[in-house]
């Protein structure tokens, strides 16, 4: 029975907790509120930070003698206390997995019932000492800081089962080949009494295995393995088809099915070594982006919105989305499975947490595997994003040496978050799921306690340095570019109705910084506001700068394919709300110029030359290496490369013929020339022709100055 619909709600207090949870309380003066929903979406509670007390009346048939009844809350943001007919059921915590309560005895007392739920979602006022495991859905620099996601955001229902309920189910594919797939299954069974049951496993409609299992009263943890012959393999979109397999588990008590669960999974094997991932034994250079929440009001998001984000990433030429700092609704993972988009799944720990969060974080990491482990699209877990608060510390004018010093110290010094919390959460993931690699954290530099470090967040051209600094940095510190999971720059979105542009240049800068994410000091350093006569010119300049940075960073990292780079995730694909942010798609999914730059830089085959200096002088000698990056699984044989150099008073051409290796980066030629004595623009155009297999072009330019 689905209890979704119109409930009643009011701000909670101690008196209401005592009097308003029973059956006979009059809640007619309370405000109507929708479940599922977030209370900030309701005008009556748009400014509330809770807690709120919810109530609903319902009628339910009494279960048969051999049946059990359950109240199931599919999504609570973030903590709750639950009563049925005035009887206290429990205090669930955690937003992304269901919470269930056995109400068999209470339901049998009558047909009319009242469910009361007090929901709390305490604001996270700082990037330090956080307590809610809500990640970027609270207090994030790329979303509306006033949004509170509190509420019953997924359905609430009454479920009826037999005497044994399959409370949780985990289905993991450990290894696979053309002949056999090995599945590891785990069930959490809740039995009303000691008894023996039969656990039946059905794969794509065919009963594959049955096991006898003795259960004690209460919760029982049961593991079993299953081999599937001649499996249909699941592949990411660039490597093959996305064959999906239905697995159903029936718990049979005395010949009758007591409870069933089913999941859709994919037969595939994941491995990672030296930050290079492989799927089913095929290595794959990962071109990716960070995915923000599809929208802040997750409860109101249509499933097609999540699918659209996956499709837009696919259209951009990406293989991977990093689900940044949150766990999304199920529709996102279903779409990724169907479309072959790989997912890096962050656990919703973002920045620094109080010490009392450890036990809860470990428990919720295990729940994450129960909820998501069967999805073949997920290839890694990441326990914690930026435990040292990297971008928060760097969100200062770049000339602040004190900020830089403090940031470097935080990166190197041991900390409770980085060295204790993250390792506990990592172990929890590894214990629950040994079929995928698990990262302890993201954005941690190599250091003495953990020499290998993690993936890198390199914001050249935004938080530090110049957008031209990445190639030299990569050459000097190759360990730092093994996998760069964040880089980018902010730009004004196409839809900017939230900005009163008529006041240019005297905009409401404070509101843009506080509510819409603008990092003005950084923007001034790279796209100075006073250099543009109109808002439109400045807005376009921010988009051009972002596009240029992403294009050249992606080209640089792709030239380092497998030596040492295993891939990248730029920051970021989308906005969750009206923002001036690092996204390449705004909150209405209108593309910025950078989206088109990403499309070009992420094509399966690109031709790219060493970047020309920003300016050159006549008579200066240059040698420019030209590479072809080929992600195809076949070499480009006898490919023709044409290079065309032109300036105001002349031009020069080169032609080369060679072979570009499959799934690799090949240096095709070195162009050597002397800068002509002709002040003005100097252009270098590249064209690659590999017949019917591939074609690519590229352009760079510099300025000849006396």
Q: What is the mean pLDDT of the segment spanning 32-58?
A: 96
Provide the b/e sequence for 288-306 (b: ≥16 CB within 10 Å): bbbbbbbbbbbbebeeebb
Tell me the C-alpha distance between 545 and 422, whole Å: 36
Alpha-carbon dihedral angle through residues 664, 665, 668, 674, given to the nearest 10 degrees: 180
Tell me the C-alpha distance between 477 and 498, whole Å: 42
Residue range 297-348, pLDDT digits in tens: 999 999 999 999 999 999 999 999 999 999 999 999 999 999 999 999 999 9
CA distances (Å), 319 to each of 234, 268, 334, 342, 557, in order? 14, 16, 16, 6, 15
Strands 342-346 and 378-382: parallel
Residue range 670-697, pLDDT digits in tens: 999 999 999 999 999 999 999 999 999 9
Tell me the C-alpha distance between 382 and 370, whole Å: 16
Tell me the C-alpha distance between 151 and 78, whole Å: 7
Contact 512, 520 (CB under 8 A): yes
Tell me the C-alpha distance between 509 and 456, whole Å: 31
Domain ranges across the chain: 5-159, 164-265, 280-327+347-366+379-604, 608-704
Residue range 185-199, pLDDT digits in tens: 999 999 999 999 999
Mean pLDDT across the chain: 94
Tell me the C-alpha distance between 118 and 100, whole Å: 15
Residue 414 has what pLDDT? 78
Structure tokens at 593: 């110029």
Largest Cα–Cα distance of the chain, in whole Å?
Answer: 96
Residue range 555-586, pLDDT digits in tens: 999 999 999 999 999 999 999 999 999 999 99
Q: 436: Cβ–Cβ under 8 A, 6 or more apart, which residues?
A: 270, 378, 379, 380, 381
The pLDDT of residue 411 is above 80: no
Would you say the CATH fold of 608-704 matches that of 164-265? Answer: yes
CB atoms within 10 A of CB 385: 29
Residue range 469-492, pLDDT digits in tens: 999 999 999 999 999 999 999 999
CATH topology of domain 5-159: Jelly Rolls (2.60.120)
Q: What is the mean pLDDT of the segment spanning 85-108?
A: 97
Contact 640, 689 (CB under 8 A): yes
Tell me the C-alpha distance between 123 and 139, whole Å: 8
Confidence of residue 462 (pLDDT cuts 50, 70, 90): very high
Q: Tell me how many degrees the CA angle 591-592-593 measures, rounded to the nearest 5.
A: 120
Residue 399 has what pLDDT? 45
The pLDDT of residue 236 is above 80: yes
H/E run at residue 409: helix 401-412
Contact 446, 452 (CB under 8 A): yes
Residue 379: strand pairing partners:
none
Q: 697: Cβ–Cβ under 8 A, 6 or more apart, which residues?
A: 607, 685, 686, 687, 688
DSSP helix/strand/coil, 452: coil
Confidence of residue 403 (pLDDT cuts 50, 70, 90): low
Angle between helix 358-372 and 422-432 (nearest 10): 30
Q: Which residue has the tokens 């720059």?
A: 489
Tell me the C-alpha distance between 307 and 294, whole Å: 10
Contact 316, 596 (CB under 8 A): no
Residue range 639-676, pLDDT digits in tens: 999 999 999 999 999 999 999 999 999 999 999 999 99
- Please give the radius of gyration of the chain, using alpha carbons only, rounded to the nearest integer: 28
Alpha helix positions (H), 453-519? 470-476, 509-516
Tell me the C-alpha distance between 69 and 86, whole Å: 17
CATH topology of domain 164-265: Immunoglobulin-like (2.60.40)
Residue 404 has what pLDDT? 53
How many Å separate Cα 274 from the centre of its chain?
Answer: 22
CA distances (Å), 371 to each of 74, 115, 169, 365, in order? 11, 25, 8, 10
How many Å separate Cα 360 from the centre of its chain?
Answer: 21
Residue range 265-276, pLDDT digits in tens: 999 999 999 999
Q: Does the domain at residues 280-327+347-366+379-604 carry the CATH identifier 3.20.20.80?
A: yes
Residue 398 has what pLDDT? 46
End-to-end CA distance of the chain: 79
Q: Tell me how many degrees the CA angle 373-374-377 measures, rounded to the nearest 5.
A: 90
Confidence of residue 454 (pLDDT cuts 50, 70, 90): confident
Residue range 133-168, pLDDT digits in tens: 999 999 899 999 999 999 999 999 999 999 999 999
The pLDDT of residue 449 is above 90: no
CA distances (Å), 420 to each of 318, 329, 392, in order? 34, 29, 21
The pLDDT of residue 445 is above 90: no
CA distances (Å), 409 to each of 194, 292, 304, 393, in order? 56, 29, 44, 11
Confidence of residue 415 (pLDDT cuts 50, 70, 90): confident
Tell me the C-alpha distance between 658 and 673, whole Å: 21
The pLDDT of residue 406 is above 90: no
Confidence of residue 451 (pLDDT cuts 50, 70, 90): very low
Residue 388 has what pLDDT? 80
Residue 657: strand pairing partners:
640
- Judge if the upstream peptide bond of residue 688 is cis by omega within 30 degrees of 0: no
Residue 293 has what pLDDT? 97
Contact 617, 706 (CB under 8 A): yes
CATH topology of domain 608-704: Immunoglobulin-like (2.60.40)
pTM: 0.94
H/E run at residue 305: helix 303-315
Residue 180: strand pairing partners:
229
């Amino acid at each position: 029975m689905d209890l979704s619909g119109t409930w009643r709600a009011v701000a909670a207090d101690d008196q209401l907790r005592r009097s308003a949870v029973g059956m006979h309380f009059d809640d007619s003066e309370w405000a109507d509120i929708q479940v599922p929903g977030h209370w900030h979406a309701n005008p009556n509670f748009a400014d509330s930070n809770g807690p709120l007390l919810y109530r609903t009346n319902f009628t339910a048939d009494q279960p048969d003698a051999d049946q059990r009844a359950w109240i199931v809350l599919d999504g609570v943001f973030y903590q709750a206390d639950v009563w049925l007919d005035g009887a206290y059921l429990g205090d669930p915590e955690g937003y992304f997995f269901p919470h269930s309560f056995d109400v068999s005895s209470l339901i049998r007392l009558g047909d009319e019932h009242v469910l009361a739920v007090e929901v709390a979602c305490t604001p996270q006022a700082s990037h330090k000492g956080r307590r809610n495991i809500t990640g970027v859905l609270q207090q994030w620099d790329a979303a509306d800081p006033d949004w509170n996601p509190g509420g019953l955001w997924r359905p609430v229902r009454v479920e009826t089962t037999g005497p044994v309920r399959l409370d949780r189910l985990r289905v993991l594919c450990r290894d696979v080949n053309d002949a056999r797939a090995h599945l590891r299954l785990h069930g959490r069974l809740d039995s009303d009494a000691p008894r023996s049951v039969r656990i039946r496993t059905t794969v794509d409609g065919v009963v594959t295995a049955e096991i006898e299992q003795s259960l004690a009263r209460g919760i029982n943890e049961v593991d079993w393995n299953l081999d599937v012959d001649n499996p249909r393999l699941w592949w990411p979109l660039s490597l093959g088809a996305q064959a999906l397999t239905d697995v159903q588990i029936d718990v049979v008590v005395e010949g009758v099915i007591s409870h069933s669960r089913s999941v859709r999974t994919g037969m595939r094997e994941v491995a990672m070594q030296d930050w290079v991932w492989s799927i089913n034994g095929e290595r794959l250079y990962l071109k990716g982006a960070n995915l923000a929440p599809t929208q802040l009001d997750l409860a109101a998001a249509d499933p097609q919105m999540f699918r659209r984000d996956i499709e837009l990433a696919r259209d951009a030429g990406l293989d991977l989305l990093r689900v940044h700092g949150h766990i999304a609704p199920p529709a996102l993972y279903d779409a990724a499975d169907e479309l072959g988009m790989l997912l890096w799944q962050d656990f919703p720990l973002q920045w620094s947490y109080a010490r009392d969060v450890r036990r809860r974080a470990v428990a919720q990491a295990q729940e994450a595997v129960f909820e998501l482990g069967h999805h073949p699209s997920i290839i890694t877990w990441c326990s914690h994003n930026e435990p040292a608060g990297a971008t928060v510390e760097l969100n200062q004018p770049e000339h602040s040496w004190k900020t830089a010093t403090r940031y470097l110290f935080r990166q190197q010094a041991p900390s409770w978050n980085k060295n204790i919390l993250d390792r506990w959460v990592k172990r929890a993931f590894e214990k629950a799921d040994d079929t995928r690699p698990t990262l302890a954290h993201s954005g941690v530099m190599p250091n003495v306690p953990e020499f290998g470090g993690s993936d890198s967040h390199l914001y050249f051209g935004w938080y530090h340095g110049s957008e031209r600094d990445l190639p030299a940095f990569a050459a000097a510190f190759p360990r730092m570019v093994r996998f760069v999971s964040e880089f980018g720059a902010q730009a004004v979105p196409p839809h900017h109705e939230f900005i009163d542009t008529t006041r240019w240049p005297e905009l409401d800068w404070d509101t843009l910084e506080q509510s819409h994410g603008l990092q003005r000091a950084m923007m001034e350093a790279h796209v100075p506001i006073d250099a543009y006569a109109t808002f439109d010119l400045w807005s376009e300049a921010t988009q051009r700068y972002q596009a240029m940075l992403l294009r050249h960073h992606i080209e640089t990292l792709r030239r380092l394919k497998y030596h040492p780079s295993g891939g990248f995730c730029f920051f970021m694909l989308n906005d969750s709300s009206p923002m001036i942010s690092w996204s390449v798609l705004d909150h209405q999914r209108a593309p910025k110029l950078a989206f088109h730059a990403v499309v070009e830089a992420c094509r399966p085959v690109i031709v790219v030359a060493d970047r020309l200096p920003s300016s050159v002088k006549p008579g200066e000698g240059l040698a420019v290496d030209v590479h072809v990056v080929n992600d195809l699984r076949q070499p480009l044989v006898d490919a023709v490369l044409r290079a065309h150099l032109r300036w105001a008073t002349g031009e020069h051409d080169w032609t080369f013929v060679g072979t570009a290796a499959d799934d690799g980066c090949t240096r095709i030629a070195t162009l050597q020339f002397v800068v002509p004595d002709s002040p003005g623009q100097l252009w270098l155009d590249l064209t690659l022709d590999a017949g019917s297999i591939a074609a690519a072009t590229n352009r760079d330019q510099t300025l000849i100055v006396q």
